[in-house]
Amino acid sequence: MIKKVCVIGGGISGLCTAFRLKKKGVEVLLVERGEVCGGNIQTEKTGDYLIEWGPNSTLVSEHLFELVAELRLLDEVAQANATAKKRYILKDGKLRALPLKIVDIISSDIFSIQAKLRLLRETFIKSKSPKNESVAEFFERRFGQEIVDFAVDPFVSGIFAGNPERLSIKSAFPLLFQMEKDYGSILKASLFGKKEKQGEFVPKGISRTVSFKSGMQTLTDKLAANLSDEIKTKTEVEQCITENGKWKIKTVSGNLNDESFDAIVIAVPSFVAAKLIENFDGELSRQLSEIYHPPLAVIVSAFRKQDIDFGLDGFGFLIPKVERRKILGSLWSSVIFENRAPQGVHLLTTFIGGARNAELFDKSDEELFCIAFDELDSILGLKVKPIFQQIKCWTRAIPQYNIGYEKIENDIEDFSRKNRGIFFCSNFYRGISVGDCVKNAHRTANEIEDYLKK
Ligand SMILES: Cc1cc2nc3c(=O)[nH]c(=O)nc-3n(C[C@H](O)[C@H](O)[C@H](O)COP(=O)(O)OP(=O)(O)OC[C@H]3O[C@@H](n4cnc5c(N)ncnc54)[C@H](O)[C@@H]3O)c2cc1C
């Protein structure tokens, strides 16, 4: 008998799970609230500008590469330009290039002599991460405060738009946590650790940072096209119900309420998942509803190349909190990938808000444009106002794996053991990056296949 699974949510996690299940011969129905699938992945083409409102790029991993090949998208892959390897940090109001290799730290002007000496002592630090250690505490213990201020803080801001003092090292950066456990030192693990330990697979000749020629949405559009008969858009799920060993969903429009499924996948944000499982586990529902998603404004602005004093030659820059600026950083989108802006023009993507400056999010679009321009001007030297600018405000952007998150993860696992046939695959569980979502979708589809066989 063919088994039927309902996937709730059509972001990359849900689409990829549904695609994998279909390939295994499972009958699948994906239900998406919006008019189109893609979730956070949103590319917009306006004139000659290619804008990413969500992820700008992703790192190649084994599962992602496999998926792209299966979807016959290899020719569409856009590799980051070699120049984009260079990344800047703002220190004392000036942009300074981040060292690309650990040995380059010695000659870098970002860190003081004391910080460099402290860094070298890391291999002798014998202590191990205690329970509930934050990202900031972990790095302060191993490398000292200056590394936290000028390397860790901006890095965390760039990935999570988060606060290193609140994020849990074990949950947000499990690889680093494991490196300390296995090697007793992050430096030793980076220099001598096996590459497979990092779980990454980079095919030869492929830059690790990639997107697609027509933007990130190429991936979700192609997945959706492969699942066109299996997708129901404009359908919002309010509740999951179980009856006689089968699963049902309750939708706002009531259109699918009579269909039964052998399993169900929750691939929606945590604050929506909280409502869907409320009837089964009030405590887990409460915890899911409380996962913090800081607000984030994304501003794209374009300038003629001759109107920017600083020669843009990198990925962009991030700003440490101690610099007390109103923007988190800016990606130089047209330097990273080809065809993001007209000839002779640079497109910049600037971020405001996050856990650091959440209060700025309440400002009007006009005020946010002004903040972005003033900050970019003081850092890059701009001769004129942008020739093009647009904004998107994410009220709840990225889930924060803050201290205490470990309990949520354990409770999700407990919940799945107690409530057979319900699976979670979303960025609030087991990783936030696009690569993590693809990997988790693969894992979830395998778990469902095993479950259905039983
Ligand atoms: C601004 C921003 C920048 C980012 N930058 C990067 C980056 O550079 N690199 C990177 O790797 N990652 C980045 N990320 C993270 C990454 O994009 C996300 O974690 C990932 O796309 C999440 O995918 P998802 O499918 O788990 O969730 P989502 O994309 O949130 O998808 C969930 C889907 O569920 C649907 N839904 C919600 N409620 C219901 C309901 N009741 N019924 C039915 N459907 C529902 C939604 O409409 C949505 O389509 C960024 C995220 C943001 C917001």
Q: Ligand 1 center to residue 237 CA distance, Å?
A: 17
The answer to whether the CB of 144 is under 6 A from ligand 1 is no
Domain that holds residue 325: 294-394
CA-12 nearest atom, ligand 1: 25
Q: Ligand 1 center to residue 427 CA distance, Å?
A: 7
Q: Ligand 1 center to residue 140 CA distance, Å?
A: 31
Q: Let me know if residue 418 belongs to a domain.
A: yes
pLDDT lower than 50: segments of the chain: 196-199
Q: What is the pLDDT of residues 45-79, one digit of tens each?
A: 999 999 999 999 999 999 999 999 999 999 999 99
- Is residue 378 located within the same domain as residue 435? no
Bridging pattern class, strands 422-424 and 263-266: parallel
Read off the CATH number of the domain in which 444 is found: 3.50.50.60
* Concatenated DSSP letters of 305-324: GGGBSS---SSEEE--GGG-
Bridging pattern class, strands 27-31 and 231-232: parallel
Q: Let me know if residue 21 belongs to a domain.
A: yes
Q: Let me know if residue 55 belongs to a domain.
A: no
Q: Let me know if residue 210 belongs to a domain.
A: no
- Is residue 352 located within the same domain as residue 311? yes
Beta strands in 80-217 (DSSP E): 87-91, 94-97, 209-212
The answer to whether the CB of 13 is under 6 A from ligand 1 is yes
What amino acid occupies position 265? V
- Is residue 183 located within the same domain as residue 256? no
CB 279 within 8 A of CB 264: no
Alpha helix ranges (H) inside 231-364: 270-276, 282-289, 333-336
- Is residue 407 located within the same domain as residue 286? yes
SS3 362: helix
The answer to whether the CB of 161 is under 6 A from ligand 1 is no
Q: Let me know if residue 89 belongs to a domain.
A: no
Q: Ligand 1 center to residue 376 CA distance, Å?
A: 28
Read off the CATH number of the domain in which 349 is found: 3.90.660.20
The answer to whether the CB of 64 is under 6 A from ligand 1 is no
- Is residue 380 located within the same domain as residue 298? yes
Q: How many alpha carbons lie under 13 Å from residue 41 in its C-beta half-sphere?
A: 32
- Is residue 224 located within the same domain as residue 282? yes
Show which of 169, 198, 227 is a domain's final residue. Answer: 198
pTM score of the predicted model = 0.95
The answer to whether the CB of 9 is under 6 A from ligand 1 is yes
The answer to whether the CB of 267 is under 6 A from ligand 1 is yes
- The pLDDT of residue 245 is 87
Q: Ligand 1 center to residue 422 CA distance, Å?
A: 20
Give residue 207's region: left, alpha or beta (phi > 0; psi -120 to 50).
beta
φ and ψ at residue 232, rounded to 5 degrees: -120, 110
Read off the CATH number of the domain in which 123 is found: 1.10.3110.10
Between CA 251 and CA 254 the distance in angstroms is 5
CA-57 nearest atom, ligand 1: 8
- Is residue 167 located within the same domain as residue 224? no
Q: Ligand 1 center to residue 218 CA distance, Å?
A: 15
Q: Let me know if residue 82 belongs to a domain.
A: no
CB 382 within 8 A of CB 309: yes
The answer to whether the CB of 398 is under 6 A from ligand 1 is yes
- Is residue 417 located within the same domain as residue 369? no
CA-251 nearest atom, ligand 1: 42
Show which of 379, 394, 409 is a domain's final residue. Answer: 394
Token pair of 163, please?
């606060």
Q: Let me know if residue 50 belongs to a domain.
A: no
- The pLDDT of residue 299 is 98
The answer to whether the CB of 79 is under 6 A from ligand 1 is no
Show which of 359, 375, 394 is a domain's final residue. Answer: 394
- Is residue 182 located within the same domain as residue 223? no
φ and ψ at residue 40, rounded to 5 degrees: -65, -20
The pick from 212, 252, 265, 268 for probing ligand 1's pocket by mutation, whose C-beta has the most ligand atoms within 8 angstroms, reads: 268
- The pLDDT of residue 195 is 58
Which residues 6+ apart lie within 8 Å of 372 measured at CB?
Answer: 299, 301, 327, 350, 352, 389
- Is residue 316 located within the same domain as residue 390? yes
Task: Work out the angle at residue 274's Cα, subtended by the Cα atoms of residues 2 and 156, and round it to the nearest 5 degrees.
Answer: 105
Q: Ligand 1 center to residue 85 CA distance, Å?
A: 26
- Is residue 405 located within the same domain as residue 287? yes
The answer to whether the CB of 31 is under 6 A from ligand 1 is yes
The answer to whether the CB of 61 is under 6 A from ligand 1 is no
Residue nearest to atom 48 of ligand 1 (CA): 39
The answer to whether the CB of 217 is under 6 A from ligand 1 is no
Q: Let me know if residue 207 belongs to a domain.
A: no
The answer to whether the CB of 39 is under 6 A from ligand 1 is yes
Between CA 149 and CA 10 the distance in angstroms is 37
Which residue, among 31, 40, 38, has the nearest Cα to 235 in the 3D structure? 31
The answer to whether the CB of 426 is under 6 A from ligand 1 is yes
Q: Which residues pair with 251 in a beta bridge?
A: 237
Which residue, among 352, 285, 346, has the nearest Cα to 310 in the 3D structure? 346
Query: How many domains are contained in the chain?
Result: 3
Q: Ligand 1 center to residue 268 CA distance, Å?
A: 8
- Is residue 9 located within the same domain as residue 141? no
